[in-house]
Amino acid sequence: MRTLRITISNKLMIVCVCNAIREEKVREAARTGACTVGQAYARCGTKAKCGSCLPFARAIINEERAALAANPPAVAA
Ligand code: FES
């Protein structure tokens, strides 16, 4: 499967062209508990359409979840 990436700037990289979802939105969704692309896109109020973005979105989510597992946030007492 071909992955389409369109870069506007580092902060505005579009992950999903069909839904205009930026990389930062996918990262934020993963950091706040989304484990799958479907969950991340649902937090953006949408769902995957053509599917071209799925491998890239999945990689971003996996990267964020690995970073969280390696460095979990402090829990307030
Ligand atoms: S690019 Fe994300 S569903 Fe088409």
Domains belonging to the chain, first-starting first, are 14-70 (1.10.10.1100)
15-66 confidence digits (pLDDT tens):
999 999 999 999 999 999 999 999 999 999 999 999 999 999 999 999 999 9
Taking the centre of ligand 1 as the mean of its atom positions, its distance from the CA of residue 67, in whole angstroms, is 25
Global pTM exceeds 0.85: no
| Mutational test site, ligand 1, from 5, 6, 14, 18, max ligand atoms within 8 Å of CB | 18
Query: For 22-61, b where at least 16 C-beta lie within 10 A, e where not — what string?
Result: bbebbbebbeeebeebeebbebbeeebeeebbbebbeebb
Indicate the pLDDT class of residue 76, thresholds 50, 70 and 90: confident
